[in-house]
Structure 1
């Protein structure tokens, strides 16, 4: 999608998301927001310059690094009132058996339309890829990827138990995923002890390497057996060379490690260039439950500690009104408003903004890192009034620019 007209905008932008031209310097204000003027022509930024004063807040169009479009908006028909992982799995399996192409189409189109209006430019969606609803889900979302091309980049992940990749059916699925330009995924459930999980991981990684597919694992989504899955993955990576990128989604139980163990683990993860997607909303809802008691410990990927070790960490929204989480609506600003306090991130610092912006783009290997500079796409979210308090208190009204054209509701 490309714009035909020139345009400009004066607003305040996080320091970490501005790349000044050579010779231009600007002081960093306390709130981390610089007043800038952005100009664009034919869908591309032509200049980024400091100005004396500006109002509101501008961000790049953002990224959802972990979603489930195939099951979005299914809570009403398949609720999980217990809020437990087991309850979510049971409801998910019942929903999967009733899937039709028409239902997946309606859900995914509704979700993508919301994402478009809210200011998302890319989504990585995991797809339940084993069972009666798998074929229609892949068919519908592959078509959606083409239909939304130029507006939202859609990456598709085959989600199956990791042992499935060791079967002839898994071999066939890997060929199909590669042909579709997709991502090989899998679920590693704790306690994942012994040789069997390592053998399954080795087979999965070998398939991904042979087909040139990235890998994205549901791993250590638990409130017990800290880092059991990641430790098994690291043991496998000691014995084989893998060049495709590997993402560890959830990694929730890592937060249960003591600081020294977490530091050692984080360094090893960085050495193998593992990436992590933290999912505070779904994990905050599902994990750490002990009957009706308020949880005293909420497993959540240790974002700051992993980033300090050199691991690329993004924050995602995960589920949208399905058995795993009753909320969510593919709004990146709502995700920031809810995720920032849960993870105690400060978006006015580079460390706090990157998981929602540049690191999320890097994790998905997108062409644009989300930093405003000449030549970058004219893609932005503009909050006309206020600043961080308004953005973090409630999802604010916004204007979305995509390819130099303002998106209309």
Structure 2
């Protein structure tokens, strides 16, 4: 029986994403990168080796494993042109979202999801967790379409689905049935916890019911929490207290956690320690939060209302970073390009990719929060999955969105269509037609 040939690339790779047990790989440079020969045969990496000195004089491309998108909304992606919210307000986003949801069809969700997954696949994403509107007229159609796409894309993009429902829904018999239905299909449970917050025990009771449902059916929990600029940290604090009181054994993620940025520093640190003690992960979503929050009509925003990533990490909280909404009423931009998100996060959140803690939110921490089988670290026996960039280092990547080639299971994908000449630009620069 013939064996697949061994292939090798000479690359610059973040040392933080290379097996920590490997020694003698050579010096790590000021960008946290190490020159490396990566070899693979078939679908698996077979060797990681230092480069000889004569190979270090020539420029080497920067390469990373495919990245992870920990929070998306495929069911409403690309709906902004038909349901715009250029005012950028929360109220406007909710109104346009409800308008879209009332008209949504399974065919639309299939088209949106297929488009999103094709972009993700070609641009270097290997997993996406998508929240799905799960109460109302289009809930079943949305789930059926995305479940079909999950099966269709299995083995290429790992698609996880979260039931997004009003928190109080989990208190009802219908909530019990939804939890069972979602669990039977391998999904997660979710909801929204934020201002104005119930003045009675409703929020606490509803969250307790959600955690009970998750424990009963063995599902992970991923909540939209504290996506607000008032009553900072109240939702995250409630989740952490209940998780500790109920001794929850299921994974819990608080997505957004934006209003924590408005707490005094000591209060932030205390709450971060409580979140860490409860074993709760956080997904920061700076693009949508900076678009919707901190607005001052007629004025430039002063506040960056987003999860305090570094404070959370310092307390030991596992933090991932996602794009959230893509071209929908909640955020008008994005196209599932993880490297564009990484570039923007340097500016929005001062997340620096030269540092291990700056890369983890897109790679290892995101993979761990989603419970993926591979943590994204390059080691012998790991998947032969790489994104090789037309950049020699982080400065190149930050200067412009780089072209790339994607290796998945030892095979190169075709270059994305975006690299082909745009029809909009055809003919530009050509000599004028003769009269």
Normalising TM by the smaller chain, what interval? over 0.9
CA distance in structure 1 between the aligned counterparts of 2:133 and 2:22, rounded to whole angstroms: 48
CA distance in structure 1 between the aligned counterparts of 2:399 and 2:290, rounded to whole angstroms: 19
Give the alignment of 1:398-409 within 5 angstroms.
398-409=404-415
Give 4+ residue runs of structure 1 displaced > 4 Å after superposition: 20-23
Tell me the residue number matched to 2:395: 389
- CA positional deviation for 1:23: 4.4
Give the structure-2-normalised TM-score: 0.91
Tell me the residue number matched to 1:335: 341
Number of aligned residues: 407
Aligned-residue Cα RMSD (Å) equals: 1.3
Tell me the residue number matched to 1:46: 46
> Residues 5, 134 of structure 1: CA spacing in aligned structure 2 closer, same or farther, 3 A cutoff?
farther
Give the structure-1-normalised TM-score: 0.97
Does the residue aligned with 1:70 lie in a helix, a strand or coil?
Answer: coil
Matched, 1:163 2:168: yes
163, 176, 179: which one aligns with 1:174: 179
- CA positional deviation for 1:238: 3.7
Would you say the 8 A contact 1:191–1:228 is kept in 2? no
264, 267, 271: which one aligns with 1:261: 267
- CA positional deviation for 1:107: 0.7
Tell me the residue number matched to 2:6: 6
Does the residue aligned with 1:333 lie in a helix, a strand or coil?
Answer: helix
Tell me the residue number matched to 1:67: 72
CA distance in structure 1 between the aligned counterparts of 2:140 and 2:349, rounded to whole angstroms: 37
CA distance in structure 2 between the aligned counterparts of 1:248 and 1:394, rounded to whole angstroms: 32
CA distance in structure 2 between the aligned counterparts of 1:38 and 1:393, rounded to whole angstroms: 26
> Residues 4, 223 of structure 1: CA spacing in aligned structure 2 closer, same or farther, 3 A cutoff?
farther
Would you say the 8 A contact 2:17–2:378 is kept in 1? yes
- CA positional deviation for 1:21: 5.2
Would you say the 8 A contact 2:244–2:278 is kept in 1? no
> Residues 272, 21 of structure 1: CA spacing in aligned structure 2 closer, same or farther, 3 A cutoff?
closer
Higher-Rg member (1/2): 2
Matched, 1:271 2:277: yes
Matched, 1:187 2:192: yes
Matched, 1:140 2:141: no
* 1:356-398, Cα deviation, whole Å (9 max, x unpaired): 1111111111111111100100111001333212212322100
372, 377, 380: which one aligns with 1:374: 380
Matched, 1:360 2:366: yes
Matched, 1:322 2:328: yes
Tell me the residue number matched to 1:96: 101
Structure 2 unaligned regions, length at least 5: 416-435
Would you say the 8 A contact 1:55–1:384 is kept in 2? no
* 1:172-231, Cα deviation, whole Å (9 max, x unpaired): 110110011001010112132442111000000000000000000000000111001011
Structure 1 unaligned regions, length at least 5: none
Would you say the 8 A contact 2:77–2:325 is kept in 1? yes
Would you say the 8 A contact 2:67–2:338 is kept in 1? yes
